[in-house]
Structure 1
Amino acid sequence: MGTKKILNKDVSNVVEESLTGYLLAYQKYYKKIGEYNAFFYKGHRKDKVALVIGGGSGHEPLFTGYCGAGLADAVACGNVCASPNPELIMEAAKAVDQGKGVLFVYGNYAGDNLNFDMAEEMCQKEGIQTAHVREWDDFASAPKERITDRRGIAGDVYTIKIAGAACDAGLSLEEVVRITEKARDNTNTIGLATSPGTLPGNEKPTFEIADDEMEFGMGLHGEPGIERTKMMPCSEMVDRMYHELKAEMNLKEGDEIAVLVNGLGSTPLLELNLVYYELYKRMHKDGLKVYDAEVKTYCTCMEMGGFSITFLKLDEELKSYYDAPCYSPYYAKGAAEQVTWEAQEEEEIEFDESDIEAAPIIRSKEGVLEELNVEDARNMLLYIADKIIANKPYLTEIDSAIGDGDHGIGMAGGMQKAKRKLLKLEDQENVYRIFEEAGQAMLMSMGGASGVIFGSLYLAGAKGMESKNVLTAFDLAEMEEKSLAAIQERGGAKVGDKTMVDALAPAVEALKKNADLGLLEMLKQAEEAARIGMEDTKKYVAKFGRAKSLLERAIGHQDAGATSVYLIFQGMREFVEGTLKY
């Protein structure tokens, strides 16, 4: 039996609706930023470095719960388990920029890194000085020699707390970064999962685990951990996790630490307090000094069962920032009278909840199209969008095998946004503008690595091209070659890395080799090349994304991104050929 979820019929707006509820409940503290899924703290101090945090939704109270007095100034909220898009991040930064620079703090995931990097570039073009600190406290996700591959989980809380205090102290951006990195580098977390969470809109959970099993070191999205074992008593769980932490951090008698016991979503407080009881006995025996401890739910994955333990090793400098008072509805330290807010009138927040049905597809003529005029290009992209949306369950199933199952949701959501944009376009004369608008809509709505990559598939190749009212086979080949180059430059993936590039690169090569055979024959060859590339991903070890932690266990599984590329080229061919089907 699947998990029962409290959701509305249309789950595509769950993030907007949930965020609206949060901001309506706590509107005396927060203000929404335009029409974006972002908000800022009304009482943030002026004339200081601004702190902006963010990431995928579904991990509440991370990140929304750590914005407030002495904490973050603004939050950028992505879709469920997907990073916010660059425009959303930039708007959050602009809303709180004081001219002293903006520091971004977020978890070290491929999608977050891509989108925050792009947002920084956009901010810098507008004269905003920026820096970032990526959280990588999950030491089970990679060895020390690959520390920059480690994921960010509950340790985000400590890093955000100390970063917020450093910003409020009026320090320079360079000094704030130094202190924040120091906090990050002295923080480590290990988790244990007993049951999965289920993303809104998905019927299957993020991973499968037997009722009598648990997994040490499992990631927040269900990424494999150190070892899957049979369930055991709490004392044995804690004993192993404590000794892993102690060894990782080289802790010794007399060291001072802050301790955070975090529930992953469904673990009750009674059990979390039992975890701390067992943990304290071991820390006390070894002579570790507990400077501060907290037991609560700080960082979750929907209703995932289990918990994590986070240690922050403190010195006098870090203590001064750790002790600084702060307040948000979900996290507070210090005296209540030190925290203030501005009283504001209630505000109404509205969202566009309309969904787009399958679009009527019109071709300029019967039979095979030798070229694409502006309306053909628009209708082709509408047809591809509906094809991807129809294949959402298929893409979700593929991604669930080695990822977190959100690829289908993200692609379908991005294609819906592209359809909205395409259906509103009127009297266009430049065929490249059609691809630009669709790509921009995907880039700025999807979030995650997919938003940057698949948005660029349309956008990067069309951008800067000389205006034309028809697209030939040679034009399409040139455009997709540009897109491939931009995607590889941005993401760094190459053939064999088990990504969408495995399908896109051979497809682009086929386009170039067969452009002189005409549009249809060229697309047939590209489609077949993409299919072979997609099938080849089953042989590879993943080098990017959440599947990379699986190593050899990813072999035998097909990459979801490569599958989407194949479906896109298949859609192009079907439209040009006149054999429309989903």
Structure 2
Amino acid sequence: MSDDIRTKKLINAPEDIMEQAIAGMLSAHPDMLCVEGATGRAIVAKDGPRDGKVGVVIGGGSGHEPAFAGYVGRGLADAAAIGNVFASPSPEQILDAARAADGGAGVLLLYGNYTGDVMNFDMAAEGCAPLGIPARSIAVSDDVASAPKGRENERRGIAGDFFVFKIAGAAAESGRDLAACHAAASRANARTRSMGVALSACSLPQTGKPNFDLGARDMEIGMGIHGEPGMRRGALDTADSVTDELMDAILADMPLGKGDEVAVLVNGLGATSPLELYILHNRVAQILAMRDIKIHHSWVGEYCTSLEMAGASITLLHLDDDLKTLLDAPCRTPALTVAGALAAAGPRSQRTHAQAAATAQADLASLATSGDITPQKFRDLMLGVADVIHANRDWLSELDGVIGDGDHGVTMDIGWTAVRRALTETDDPTITAISARMGKAFLDAVGASSGPLYGSAFRQAGDNVADRLNLDAGAMVAWIEGLCTGIQSRGGAQVGDKTMIDAWVPAVAKAREALQSNAALKDCVAAAMQGAQNGRDYTAEIESRRGRSAKLGARSLGHVDPGAASAHLILQAIHTGL
């Protein structure tokens, strides 16, 4: 192990953690769990999916265990799609889970409200339609610290997943149709509020470094479960004072009156002892009793963690009669068992799903051959990009740790490593085909927000040069412009949002200017590189308006956006390769 690793983890090789962790889940719970699908990331309940039942599919990044696979089992989720650490699963991984959960009555997709999860699950829902699987989605949004009242749809999903998943699973188990299951889970989401506090940072297995700085005597109120900064930072206070602040925020946002009933979750973030969690619950119970609010049931423990982060969150679910019935319904999963008789599972037929149409092959003789960048040269350029991203992985993650969740470099490296593998194992005849293969490899490997964005980018870039075999200056600029267009069409970001678009838009503008001046191909790429650098530096001067860092406001000033930094590196690598 390298001497610069600052944190200790019981892992083998960082690149093997997901496969080994999944194998461990299966060996620990062979009576409940199995894996289905080619991706190896769909954890399925052995006695869950069955004919005529709505399939409940949950998912998200790893590092939050027991979420998400821990809630797969009879009476709860039928399948979970498991992403890399702190990164959404990819659409193909989610589709594996959807295919496994499909019993002919449709599937309900449930996930936390994060940009990457929303994009990947949306793409998976789009992919369900041609397979003949009706799909509906809910993005859990319980974190009151992440957006004010009236903008609930912008809130993050944190430990409130626990209640929404439980309600959805019970509704499906009881035989409700897809619309009714969606309605029940939506009502649970609308009546769930959470607030958290962090006492220490966590660290990604790939970096071994804390993904944010928090002083030894400090705490962060409103911290997200990926290390996203919260509402305020201050000196560590007593358990009762911290609980009072968390509960004040929840109760100010939640319309509760005398005689109402709630379910309570006091959740540890990974390194907080049960002793401390029970002290927090003691104060929660006192506060609710003073308001004449009844606790129907409580859970205290680790239900949605953040690797080894010290801290806790408090979640309340405002119950009505139906939600209470669904909450009390029996289930059996690795992380949650509610006692009660479960009916016989019933039959599960082997279902077949429509196959995607084959991609048409280009007529090579009809393609333009002018230009110095042949398909082989293009492939070499892309392999050079993969090398540069790998060399700068830690730097990109450090940039992301300041204003995000600290995984951008890791995620980009995983994606470009998959691209490298795809390009060395195949020999596509055109740059359009190479670009399409790159997009699929990146998307399948990454998920997260970068997966859909660069998956769409590479495909659009390839489409922009579909009439060419080789690239000249104009075609190279069109390819770069396709990257920008694909990212914008999938993510919707605009200049000034403090995202990678702030680098890609000026890159295209500068490249177009150079092309209009009859610049050579390499000079057009140099202009694009300069535009991206200008845009990257500009992001340090503006507040973030999109993604996880959008909650920071003025605290994001002075920090470069990591996505803009990686965009510049991509163009820099292409220029160097030329």
Alignment TM-score, normalising by the size of structure 1: 0.91
**Alpha-carbon distance between aligned partners in 1 of 2:38 and 2:387, rounded to the nearest angstrom:** 26
**Alpha-carbon distance between aligned partners in 2 of 1:228 and 1:556, rounded to the nearest angstrom:** 18
Aligned partner of 2:559 among 554, 557, 560: 557
User: In structure 1, what is the equivalent of residue 6 of structure 2?
Assistant: 2
Q: Secondary structure at the match of 1:439?
A: helix
Quick one: which amino acid aligns to residue 572 of structure 1? I
**Alpha-carbon distance between aligned partners in 1 of 2:488 and 2:152, rounded to the nearest angstrom:** 23
Query: Are 2:446 and 1:446 aligned?
Result: yes
Query: Are 2:229 and 1:224 aligned?
Result: yes
User: In structure 1, what is the equivalent of residue 488 of structure 2?
Assistant: 488
User: In structure 1, what is the equivalent of residue 45 of structure 2?
Assistant: 41
Q: Within 5 Å, give how 1:482-521 maps onto structure 2.
A: 482-515=482-515, 516-521=518-523
**Alpha-carbon distance between aligned partners in 2 of 1:446 and 1:103, rounded to the nearest angstrom:** 23
**Alpha-carbon distance between aligned partners in 1 of 2:257 and 2:202, rounded to the nearest angstrom:** 36
Q: Identity, % of aligned pairs? A: 40
**Alpha-carbon distance between aligned partners in 1 of 2:231 and 2:482, rounded to the nearest angstrom:** 41
**Alpha-carbon distance between aligned partners in 1 of 2:397 and 2:105, rounded to the nearest angstrom:** 43
User: In structure 2, what is the equivalent of residue 422 of structure 1?
Assistant: 423
Query: Are 2:253 and 1:286 aligned?
Result: no
Encode CA deviations 1:108-158: one digit per residue, 9 max, x unaligned. 000000111111111112221111011000011110122111000000000
Deviation for aligned residue 1:464: 7.5
Q: Secondary structure at the match of 1:12?
A: helix
Please identify, of 310-319 and 32-41, the stretch whose mean Cα deviation from structure 2 is larger. Answer: 32-41
**Alpha-carbon distance between aligned partners in 1 of 2:32 and 2:296, rounded to the nearest angstrom:** 30
Encode CA deviations 1:324-370: one digit per residue, 9 max, x unaligned. 101101101123x537789xxxxxxxxxxxxxxxxxxxxxxxxxx96
Residues 481 and 48 (structure 1), Cα distance of their counterparts in 2 relative to 1, 3 Å cut: same
User: In structure 1, what is the equivalent of residue 15 of structure 2?
Assistant: 12
Aligned partner of 1:546 among 537, 545, 548: 548
**Alpha-carbon distance between aligned partners in 2 of 1:341 and 1:14, rounded to the nearest angstrom:** 33
Residues 327 and 339, structure 1, Cα contact 8 Å, conserved in 2: no
Aligned partner of 1:271 among 254, 258, 276: 276
Aligned partner of 1:532 among 531, 534, 539: 534
Query: Are 2:144 and 1:178 aligned?
Result: no
CA RMSD of aligned residues (A): 1.7
Residues 111 and 117, structure 2, Cα contact 8 Å, conserved in 1: yes
**Alpha-carbon distance between aligned partners in 1 of 2:236 and 2:481, rounded to the nearest angstrom:** 52
**Alpha-carbon distance between aligned partners in 2 of 1:33 and 1:483, rounded to the nearest angstrom:** 33
**Alpha-carbon distance between aligned partners in 1 of 2:486 and 2:318, rounded to the nearest angstrom:** 41
Deviation for aligned residue 1:308: 0.8
Deviation for aligned residue 1:465: 4.9
User: In structure 2, what is the equivalent of residue 215 of structure 1?
Assistant: 220
Encode CA deviations 1:475-505: one digit per residue, 9 max, x unaligned. 1222232332222121110111111111111
Q: Secondary structure at the match of 1:254?
A: coil
**Alpha-carbon distance between aligned partners in 2 of 1:56 and 1:69, rounded to the nearest angstrom:** 22
Query: Are 2:384 and 1:383 aligned?
Result: yes
**Alpha-carbon distance between aligned partners in 2 of 1:226 and 1:524, rounded to the nearest angstrom:** 41
Encode CA deviations 1:22-81: one digit per residue, 9 max, x unaligned. 112212212212342112111014311111000010010111111111101110011100
Unaligned runs of 5+ in 2: 347-369
Q: Secondary structure at the match of 2:175?
A: coil
Quick one: which amino acid aligns to residue 7 of structure 2? T
Aligned partner of 2:525 among 512, 518, 523: 523
Q: Secondary structure at the match of 1:60?
A: coil
Query: Are 2:326 and 1:333 aligned?
Result: no
Q: Within 5 Å, give how 1:94-493 maps onto structure 2.
A: 94-335=99-340, 338=342, 371-426=372-427, 428-463=428-463, 465-466=465-466, 468-493=468-493
User: In structure 2, what is the equivalent of residue 579 of structure 1?
Assistant: none
**Alpha-carbon distance between aligned partners in 2 of 1:219 and 1:397, rounded to the nearest angstrom:** 18
Aligned partner of 1:68 among 54, 65, 73: 73
Q: Secondary structure at the match of 1:338?
A: coil
Encode CA deviations 1:235-285: one digit per residue, 9 max, x unaligned. 222222222222211322211001111111011111111111222122222
Alignment TM-score, normalising by the size of structure 2: 0.92
Encode CA deviations 1:368-417: one digit per residue, 9 max, x unaligned. x9621111011110011011101101111111111111000000111111
Residues 370 and 520, structure 1, Cα contact 8 Å, conserved in 2: no
Residues 89 and 463 (structure 1), Cα distance of their counterparts in 2 relative to 1, 3 Å cut: farther
Quick one: which amino acid aligns to residue 560 of structure 1? P
**Alpha-carbon distance between aligned partners in 2 of 1:236 and 1:466, rounded to the nearest angstrom:** 62
Quick one: which amino acid aligns to residue 497 of structure 1? D
Residues 120 and 452, structure 2, Cα contact 8 Å, conserved in 1: yes
Quick one: which amino acid aligns to residue 552 of structure 1? A
Deviation for aligned residue 1:467: 5.4
**Alpha-carbon distance between aligned partners in 2 of 1:502 and 1:228, rounded to the nearest angstrom:** 29
Q: Secondary structure at the match of 2:27?
A: helix
Residues 133 and 181, structure 1, Cα contact 8 Å, conserved in 2: yes
Deviation for aligned residue 1:13: 2.2
**Alpha-carbon distance between aligned partners in 2 of 1:340 and 1:62, rounded to the nearest angstrom:** 26
Deviation for aligned residue 1:460: 2.0
**Alpha-carbon distance between aligned partners in 2 of 1:339 and 1:57, rounded to the nearest angstrom:** 31
**Alpha-carbon distance between aligned partners in 2 of 1:46 and 1:500, rounded to the nearest angstrom:** 44
Please identify, of 430-439 and 161-170, the stretch whose mean Cα deviation from structure 2 is larger. Answer: 430-439
Residues 64 and 340 (structure 1), Cα distance of their counterparts in 2 relative to 1, 3 Å cut: farther
Residues 371 and 470, structure 2, Cα contact 8 Å, conserved in 1: no
Residues 265 and 131 (structure 1), Cα distance of their counterparts in 2 relative to 1, 3 Å cut: same
Quick one: which amino acid aligns to residue 512 of structure 2? K
Query: Are 2:28 and 1:25 aligned?
Result: yes
Deviation for aligned residue 1:456: 2.5
**Alpha-carbon distance between aligned partners in 2 of 1:89 and 1:192, rounded to the nearest angstrom:** 30
Q: Secondary structure at the match of 1:56?
A: strand
Q: Secondary structure at the match of 2:306?
A: coil
**Alpha-carbon distance between aligned partners in 1 of 2:184 and 2:37, rounded to the nearest angstrom:** 32
Aligned residues: 547
Q: Secondary structure at the match of 1:100?
A: coil
Residues 429 and 468, structure 1, Cα contact 8 Å, conserved in 2: no
Please identify, of 153-162 and 42-51, the stretch whose mean Cα deviation from structure 2 is larger. Answer: 42-51
**Alpha-carbon distance between aligned partners in 2 of 1:540 and 1:18, rounded to the nearest angstrom:** 40
**Alpha-carbon distance between aligned partners in 1 of 2:451 and 2:137, rounded to the nearest angstrom:** 20
Quick one: which amino acid aligns to residue 120 of structure 2? N
**Alpha-carbon distance between aligned partners in 2 of 1:511 and 1:573, rounded to the nearest angstrom:** 12
Q: Secondary structure at the match of 1:195?
A: coil
Q: Secondary structure at the match of 2:150?
A: helix
Q: Secondary structure at the match of 1:27?
A: coil
Quick one: which amino acid aligns to residue 21 of structure 2? S
Aligned partner of 1:88 among 69, 86, 93: 93
Quick one: which amino acid aligns to residue 27 of structure 1? P
